[in-house]
Structure 1
Amino acid sequence: MLTDTDRRILRHYQHDPMLGPADLADRAGITPATCARRLDRMQAAGIIRANRAVIDWRALGYEVEVSLRITLDKTQPRAFDEFIATARNVPEVIEIQTFLGRVDLRLSVIARDMAHYQQLYRSAILDLPHIADIEALMHVARIKSDEVLPV
């Protein structure tokens, strides 16, 4: 599926997606036209999903991150769908993950400070539908957060 050339392009591209096609081609050891064609092909195939800005939410004044482990009342047939649809509308929920096992979902929630988190918890989180159990884990440090893949 991926050639060695594709992998070379991806290795350089994921480290610096702002590289222009000529610079990326030079680092990958190919011509700019070949590089552009291969990037287009990998985007069309869904290998490269997006280019995006990663914003440091701490720089915007958010100092608190909490992971909420949530177990839903699964006696309700639409519990997952209704919970997820409602949770998506809470701007401070920056990530939603689903699981198999005792915990059904994990929400990552950011807040300016503990008072703001407490207000969010009471006014937005506890209002989410079908919650049977909730456990909060306060983030202390992010040891690794890297989207670079070993290609």
Structure 2
Amino acid sequence: MAEIDRIDRKILKCLQEDGRIATVDLAEKVGLSPTSTSERMKRLQREGYIAGFGARLDPHRLGLELLVFVEVSLDKTTPDVFEKFAAAVRRAPEVLECHMVAGGFDYLVKTRVADMAAYRRFLGEILLALPGVKETRTYAVMEEVKSDGILPV
């Protein structure tokens, strides 16, 4: 994979801020022709720097008011149990993110639901039913301080 230069980084930064920016406008911002900018964007996609495009939705407008992080501990820490848990969590649309972590528990799960009653249903019907789950600890978010998800490039 080729290294990226200063212009590539500018392109990536601009695209993170506005994924729908017109190529002509992007070219102007980074100081290249539209053709060169388009070629660089295609290369950045092909090489995996740009993983995809999508819209950031407002969860509150969609009635998903409660953001929750959950520590998950498994009953065994074997490759087979890890694999089964990971496969099952990938099929759970309620799970926004899931990360295997080092430390006092095995996975950190992020979910967003309507309210505490909806979270209780998610916990009982989805999360605790995942293979190998021994114990969970829940952290309801009181305030989102920063959630723009923009990587420093």
Q: TM-score, normalised by structure 1?
A: 0.90
Greater shift, 136-145 or 77-86, is seen at 77-86
Question: 1:95 maps to what in 2?
Answer: 97
Displacement, 1:131?
Answer: 1.4
Instruction: Please tell me the residue identity of whatever aligns with 1:112.
Output: A
**Cα offsets for 1:55-104 (capped at 9, x unmatched):** 22221111112111011122555111111222223222111111122211
The structure 1 segments of at least 4 consecutive aligned residues displaced by more than 4 Å after TM superposition are none
2-structure distance, mates of 1:18, 1:103: 39
Name 2:47's counterpart in structure 1.
Answer: 45
Say if 1:72 and 1:130, in contact at 8 Å, map to a contact too.
yes
Partner SS, residue 85 of structure 1: helix
Q: State the partner residue of 1:17.
A: 19
Q: Do residues 36 (structure 1) and 27 (structure 2) align?
A: no
Q: Secondary structure at the match of 1:102?
A: coil
2:118 alignment counterpart: 116
- Indicate the percent of aligned positions where both proteins have the same amino acid: 33
Query: Which whole-Å deviations, capped at 9, do the CAs of 1:8-39 have from their partners, x for residues lacking one?
Result: 22222222121111110011111001101111
CA distance, structure 1, for counterparts of residue 41 and residue 120 of structure 2: 45
Q: Secondary structure at the match of 2:139?
A: strand
Match of 2:146?
Answer: 144
* Cα offset, 1:40, TM superposition: 0.9
Give the gaps of 5 or more residues in structure 1. none
The 10-residue stretch of structure 1 (36-45 or 3-12) with the greater mean CA deviation from structure 2? 3-12
Q: Equivalents in 2 of 1:130, 1:137: separation in Å? A: 21
Q: CA RMSD in A?
A: 1.6
CA contact (8 A) 1:76 1:130 kept: no
2:144 maps to amino acid? R
- Asked if 2 retains the 8 angstrom alpha-carbon contact of 1:79 and 1:130, the reply is yes
Instruction: Return closer, same or farther for 1:27/1:86 CA change in 2, 3 Å cut-off.
Output: same
SS in 2 for 1:14: helix
TM-score, normalised to structure 2, is: 0.89
| 1:121-142 CA-partner distances (Å, limit 9, x unpaired) | 2222221121122111111111
* Structure 1, 135-144 or 57-66: larger mean CA deviation: 57-66
How many pairs align?
A: 151
Which sections of structure 2, spanning at least 5 residues, go unmatched?
none
